[in-house]
Amino acid sequence: MTPEQYAQERAASSGSSFYYAFKFLPPDRRAAITAFYAFCREVDDVVDEVHDPSVAATKLNWWRQEVQRLYSGQASHPALLALQPHVERFGIEAHHLLDVIEGCQMDLQQTRYLDFAGLSRYCHLVAGVVGEVASAIFGRSQTQTLQYAHKLGLALQLTNILRDVGEDARRGRIYLPVDELQRFDVKAHEVLRREAPWGYSERFTALMKFQAERAHGLYDEALALLPEADRQAQKPGLMMANIYRALLRELEAENFQVLHQRIALTPVRKLWIAMRTNWRGR
């Protein structure tokens, strides 16, 4: 199996909404974003699948070293070998990859965030930086497009957080800010219990509605920042925005019943949204 085949299989097997947007890119850009996404999946899985924190930390340190080897032409992992031909053309620098690893490191060290400012820092590392790299690969000619990419990354990550409240609680994590839990009188133990009906309450629903409104506002802000000159090139990002916003609306329609189940869009619906965005250009 070639590194490119490995990255392709890694991206396809994830079932991520991102994969549907990649399909509409020219081959060279599609190869670059697929390799970058494969790298992101690799380091993210270290945290999610390795149950011993010390082992996970060791693995993340290995990835930091592997990133350094990438930029000296000595990488060995197929995901980075697939990425290597694209780093110079698309301006992918070591600090981008190291920031993603740092965000995953935060998952090992922190299971709560006191306020939205702290959560935003985490989202910047695991999503904003990803948006920055992705927007460069898609084709970014305007400085303002970088602001759009970071804002959209934050909106996408907040949507992920709302979808995954139950799954994260199973791992002992709560990404909803502590001060906002307190404001809506939602107890951490109620979230961590993850059982119906105890975890669900009018208080929990009000908290989730507040989070969803924030995410909708960020989508609106991001789209307003995207310059017309880059709109065509950034269509894959718009596809992701539309897919994730449809997911956010699905969470709202299901009254945020996310503690005991995973709410998701079907692959057919994701593909349809991506195709519709490609046709409409927005």
Same domain, 85 and 126: no
Last residue of a domain, one of 85, 109, 133: 109
CB 205 within 8 A of CB 255: yes
The pLDDT assigned to 195 comes to: 66
The pLDDT assigned to 48 comes to: 84
Contacts of 99 (CB under 8 A, 6+ apart): 125, 129
Same domain, 122 and 11: no
The pLDDT assigned to 222 comes to: 97
Same domain, 99 and 145: no
CATH number for position 229? 1.10.600.10
Cβ neighbourhood burial of 252 (10 Å; 0-12, 13-18, 19+): middle
Same domain, 156 and 276: yes
Same domain, 152 and 203: yes
Q: In whole angstroms, give the CA distance from residue 127 to residue 152.
A: 9
The pLDDT assigned to 13 comes to: 78
Per DSSP, the three-state class of 232 is: coil
Q: In whole angstroms, give the CA distance from residue 38 to residue 213.
A: 31
Same domain, 187 and 232: yes
Q: Between the CA atoms of 197, 198, 201 and 203, what dihedral angle is there, to the nearest 10 degrees?
A: -160
| pLDDT beneath 70: ranges in the chain | 14-15, 195-199
Q: In whole angstroms, give the CA distance from residue 141 to residue 155.
A: 22
The pLDDT assigned to 280 comes to: 85
**Model confidence pLDDT, tens digit, residues 164-213:** 999 999 989 999 999 999 999 999 999 998 766 656 889 999 999 999 99
Q: In whole angstroms, give the CA distance from residue 172 to residue 113.
A: 13
The pLDDT assigned to 15 comes to: 66
Q: Which two tokens stand for residue 165?
A: 């409240």
Cα(first)–Cα(last) distance of the chain, in Å? 37
Same domain, 98 and 203: no
Full residue range of the structural domain in which residue 102 is found: 1-109
Q: Residue 194 gets which letter from DSSP?
A: -
Last residue of a domain, one of 86, 109, 132: 109
CB 10 within 8 A of CB 41: yes
- Chain CA centroid to CA 105, Å: 15
What's the domain count of the chain?
2
Same domain, 120 and 247: yes
Same domain, 122 and 258: yes
Q: Give which of 148, 70, 67 is closest to 100, Cα–Cα.
A: 67
Same domain, 154 and 273: yes
Q: Residue 124 gets which letter from DSSP?
A: I
Same domain, 221 and 264: yes
Last residue of a domain, one of 109, 136, 157: 109
Q: 243 to each of 156, 188, 190, 274, 282, how far by Cα in Å?
A: 10, 30, 30, 7, 12
**Model confidence pLDDT, tens digit, residues 130-168:** 999 999 999 999 999 999 999 999 999 999 999 999 999
The pLDDT assigned to 196 comes to: 64
Same domain, 131 and 241: yes
The pLDDT assigned to 282 comes to: 76
